[in-house]
């Protein structure tokens, strides 16, 4: 049975590192403002499967470092966690939520109502696009 809960940032770092940047040092996946975010983990029988970090500032929010363990990708776990995080943001009164999406993952985020902006950048040899969604 899956459960979504708030997790310590250190737990999020481990899965971020394993999935997103396994060839880099652990410090590469830490965010300077991780203390200010809320880190959510989708657990299955106490195994951390997927993580996302949510940073809410007034009526805007950003979700960052969204990662799902490789054996669990493309099985709906990440979608479940992202839907949950979007719901939390909307319930908190957020009007706009955004993320820095890897360009090749943009179609995934479009399924959740996010649209690509004109803002793009490259980090670590990977192309990103800023995607956003507005809540009524």
Cα end-to-end span (Å), the chain: 32
In the three-class reduction of DSSP (H, G, I as helix; E, B as strand; rest coil), residue 78 is classed as: helix
Is 90 exceeded by the pLDDT of residue 11?
A: yes
Is 90 exceeded by the pLDDT of residue 1?
A: no
Is 90 exceeded by the pLDDT of residue 116?
A: yes
Q: What is the DSSP string of 89-115?
A: HHHTT-SEEEEEEEGGGHHHHHTTT-E
CA 110 to chain centre: 14
Rounded to whole angstroms, the Cα distance separating 122 from 100 reads 10
Domain coordinates in residue numbering, the chain = 2-99
User: What is the mean pLDDT of the segment spanning 8-25?
Assistant: 94
- Would you state the pLDDT for residue 53? 97
In the three-class reduction of DSSP (H, G, I as helix; E, B as strand; rest coil), residue 85 is classed as: helix
Q: What is the DSSP string of 27-72?
A: GGG--TTGGGSEEEEEEETTEEEEEEEEEEETTEEEEEEEEE-GGG
User: What is the mean pLDDT of the segment spanning 130-134?
Assistant: 98
- Would you state the pLDDT for residue 124? 87
Is 90 exceeded by the pLDDT of residue 101?
A: yes
- Would you state the pLDDT for residue 64? 96
Tens of pLDDT, residues 35-69: 999 999 999 998 999 999 999 999 999 999 999 99
Rounded to whole angstroms, the Cα distance separating 38 from 92 reads 13
Is 90 exceeded by the pLDDT of residue 136?
A: no
Confidence category of residue 96, pLDDT binned at 50, 70, 90: very high
| DSSP letter, residue 122 | E
Looking at domain 2-99, its CATH architecture is: 3-Layer(aba) Sandwich (3.40)
């Amino acid at each position: 049975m899956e459960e979504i809960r708030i997790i310590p940032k250190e737990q999020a770092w481990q899965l971020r590192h394993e999935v997103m940047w396994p060839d880099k040092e652990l410090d590469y996946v830490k965010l300077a403002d991780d203390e200010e975010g809320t880190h959510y983990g989708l657990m299955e029988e106490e195994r951390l499967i997927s993580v996302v970090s949510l940073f809410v500032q007034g009526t805007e929010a950003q979700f960052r470092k969204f990662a799902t363990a490789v054996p669990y990708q493309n099985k709906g776990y990440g979608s479940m966690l992202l839907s949950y995080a979007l719901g939390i943001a909307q319930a908190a009164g957020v009007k706009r939520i955004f993320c820095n999406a890897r360009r090749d993952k943009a179609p995934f985020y479009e399924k959740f109502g996010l649209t690509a902006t004109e803002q793009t950048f490259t980090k670590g040899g990977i192309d990103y696009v800023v995607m956003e969604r507005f809540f009524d």
